[in-house]
Structure 1
Amino acid sequence: MAKIHFFRINWMLPVLTILVFLTQTIYSAPLSSYLVSSFTPPDADSNLPFNHITINNITGDVYIGARERLYQLNSDLTLKHTVDTGLCPPDENDIINTNNNRLLVVAPSPEDKLITCGGCDGFCETRSLTNISHEVVRYDQSSEQFVVTTTDAPIVGAVLLGADYQSDGVGTADDGLYLFTGISDTGASNPFVSKRGLDNLHIRQAVALPKQSAPQNIFKHLIPYMENLYYFMSRGNNQKSAYLGRLCRNSLDEQFASYTEIQLQCGSHNEIQSGHIGAAGSQLADSFSLESTDDLLYAVFGSDISSALCIYKMSDVEQSFDDAAKGCSRTGDNRGKQNNYLQDSSCNTVSSLKYQLSSNTA
């Protein structure tokens, strides 16, 4: 017997809390029983760790970013192409950075390219989705336009439709594809959350970094859902608090004033790992008196000794975000001109960016 935890919102605080515990039988089997196919790198350095994986939803091709390697597989996990990205040269202090892939995302049609970021210097490249060894183009970036760093700080990203932001606040929703990223605390050279154009990866809009005295933020996952993006984060020196950030991808303000956070709770499991948003399905819906088409947020948490899967109604999650935003909204002439978001269940105001947006971001 095992417990399935179903969560509802405590409407008085921007925190998701447990109200219902249901117990039912969970059937399990060894993981090997569910194995359909697998992939083991054929080269001599097959023990090189994988960093990222992404899928082309049109062709089913799978792309893997590893240390010193990029792999392209078909939907059956058969190897199609390999790129050896090599070792990093030593720097002026004879320190060799590990050549790791830090960000790997598919830019769908009309772009039809794979964006890879990281390597030895933090720059990004684009590659053909058909053959990752072809049509390699390196982004020409200034030092202020790094998307990633060469540190081990986790990064999440996705290429999605967004509004074409202009400096005068005028734009058109769903005007083009943009790269949305979340970068864990790495210093003032990178934004916390940003949106970048695919032509040059210059920052178009961004959420300023939290205060330097704030607990460390570690991004774990990013999910697009309807018009919003959801950022899963662990916060604190020991990553003991879980937060969910929400951003409207069609916001037309420079500092993304739509960005809001709520805290997630999962009993004694507070280290967020990953998440998924999807329909409840018939069996789960029957268990919780839901409609089978109701969307749920499934989140995986960990602790020092165990893991847990917690389930939240998306309607409750969105209502909690709305309540949090109303509680932190500004009035008068400053409304919408300063970024307000939640941290540790309190309102924080960011009056200015801690980095400079490029003059040609409009």
Structure 2
Amino acid sequence: MTQGYGSKLVILVCLLHFTQPIYSAPLSSYLVSSFTPPDADSDLPFNHITFNNITGDVYIGARERLYQLNTDLTPKHTIDTGSCQPDKNDIINTNNIRLLVVAPSPEDMLITCGGCDGFCETRSLNNISHDVVRYDSSGTQYVVTRSDAPVVGAVVLSADYQDDGVGTADDGLYLFTGISDATPNFPSISKHNIDELTHGQRVTAPQASSPQNIFKHLIPFMENLYYLMSRGNSQKNAYLGRLCRNSLDEALSSYTEILLQCGTYSEIQSGLIGEAGSQLADSFSLESTDDLLYAVFGSDSSSALCIYKMSDVEQSFDGAAKGCSQSGDNRGTENNYLQGSSCNRVSVNVK
């Protein structure tokens, strides 16, 4: 873990990636079941999808629609969220679900954010038409903006942040978000109280002249959260951000980034972390229980799946923190992407 370093260093690293396919076939060969919206206007695009790990139910956020499906993608419940009215400038906002997150037990609720005004609602996981609660629309409870920029989120157990930096691990559930169109009022990465959605902790905002993060996916794994994102000229660079879920400081200074490389592919799309399994392990001389990061990259004409050993990923993050702590002066090295951030020298050795 690197939260003790207070670092936000962006470091370029080349991680191990595998390009040899184990097996390939047309995607139709893998089709198990499918879902076509039964609505009259079924061309409304999907925005988000998430799952209930207990029941297997699938939740889909779409434009003007919210769907709940069972494990074989048979519809259980459909909510028509309606269209938006024009504002005072006669501008009509599109009613999209910008964020769709399952809050596990003991909350057992589905959090949806976006709609016509950017605010959030909670719904029953068993029936999305029941127990609908709208968060108070005060200015402090915005989670997303009303633009179409991508948003990612996850609800996980985390320590309870207090102003004095004292907290207790596994104190409760919190919503972590990544907002692509970040502003001072909408920090790019923040942690929200699950009851009120107010954010007391946030990563420092990007420099005004810097390109925005375009968030693609958020993966909770072990004690950390991993943000997959693109940034740079035409969003051609793929980054992996790591945040300790139990960071107790206001600026979430455990946040660190590394650059992901996947051959000639640089446009990150999505990813997950899981065990190698027997077939993959046999093909690449791995242990079947080795944890791997599977990342999908794309271009205008093709796509690729790159696989990274999590032990190599963590070693790269530790290298970023070590390089930060070994900077040449007491002030550390300023990160040119985040406003006012710096690498702070510490007396801890990273092995």
In the superposition, the TM-score normalised over structure 2's length comes to 0.88
- Post-superposition Cα deviations, 1:219-257, rounded to whole Å, max 9, x if no partner, equal 011101100000001002401111000000011111111
**How far 1:348 sits from its partner (Å)?**
7.3
Q: Is this contact kept in 1: 2:65–2:81, CA < 8 A?
A: yes
- Which consecutive unaligned segments of at least 5 residues does structure 2 have? 1-9, 343-351
Q: 1:24 to 1:65 in 2, by over 3 A?
A: closer
Q: Distance in 2 between matches of 1:342 and 1:132?
A: 43
**Paired residue for 2:12, among 8, 12, 15?**
15
Number of equivalenced pairs = 331
Q: Distance in 2 between matches of 1:330 and 1:25?
A: 41
Tell me what 2:123 maps to: 127
Q: Is this contact kept in 1: 2:15–2:313, CA < 8 A?
A: no
**How far 1:314 sits from its partner (Å)?**
0.4
Three-state SS of the structure 2 residue aligned to 1:152 is coil
Q: Distance in 1 between matches of 2:41 and 2:50?
A: 22
- Post-superposition Cα deviations, 1:319-352, rounded to whole Å, max 9, x if no partner, equal 1101111222499xx99xx9x99667xx97428x
Tell me what 1:359 maps to: none
**Paired residue for 1:169, among 138, 148, 165?**
165
**How far 1:31 sits from its partner (Å)?**
2.3
Query: Which amino acid counterpart does residue 350 of structure 1 have in structure 2?
Result: S
Matched, 1:107 2:98: no
**How far 1:186 sits from its partner (Å)?**
3.7
- Which consecutive unaligned segments of at least 5 residues does structure 1 have? 1-12, 352-362
- Post-superposition Cα deviations, 1:248-284, rounded to whole Å, max 9, x if no partner, equal 0011111111000001111211111111111112222
Tell me what 2:198 maps to: 202
Q: Distance in 2 between matches of 1:19 and 1:102?
A: 33
After TM superposition, list the pairs within 5 Å mapping 1:74-113 onto structure 2. 74-113=70-109
Q: 1:299 to 1:342 in 2, by over 3 A?
A: farther
Tell me what 1:357 maps to: none
Tell me what 1:27 maps to: 24
Tell me what 1:136 maps to: 132
- Post-superposition Cα deviations, 1:79-137, rounded to whole Å, max 9, x if no partner, equal 11111110101100111100000000011111011100000000000011111111111
Q: Distance in 2 between matches of 1:211 and 1:328?
A: 20
Q: 1:25 to 1:286 in 2, by over 3 A?
A: closer
Q: Is this contact kept in 2: 1:61–1:75, CA < 8 A?
A: yes
Q: Distance in 2 between matches of 1:81 and 1:115?
A: 16
Matched, 1:288 2:279: no
Tell me what 2:69 maps to: 73
Q: Distance in 2 between matches of 1:128 and 1:20?
A: 41
**How far 1:24 sits from its partner (Å)?**
5.8
Query: Which amino acid counterpart does residue 177 of structure 2 have in structure 1?
Result: T
Q: 1:306 to 1:343 in 2, by over 3 A?
A: farther
**How far 1:46 sits from its partner (Å)?**
1.2
Matched, 1:249 2:240: no
**Paired residue for 1:264, among 260, 266, 275?**
260
Q: 1:24 to 1:245 in 2, by over 3 A?
A: closer
Q: Is this contact kept in 2: 1:261–1:342, CA < 8 A?
A: no
Query: Which amino acid counterpart does residue 23 of structure 2 have in structure 1?
Result: I
Percent of aligned pairs with the same residue?
75
In the superposition, the TM-score normalised over structure 1's length comes to 0.86
Three-state SS of the structure 2 residue aligned to 1:287 is helix
Tell me what 1:350 maps to: 341
Query: Which amino acid counterpart does residue 268 of structure 1 have in structure 2?
Result: T
Q: Distance in 1 between matches of 2:290 and 2:341?
A: 35
Matched, 1:57 2:53: yes
Question: CA RMSD, aligned part only?
Answer: 2.3
Query: Which amino acid counterpart does residue 26 of structure 1 have in structure 2?
Result: Y
Q: Is this contact kept in 1: 2:182–2:212, CA < 8 A?
A: no
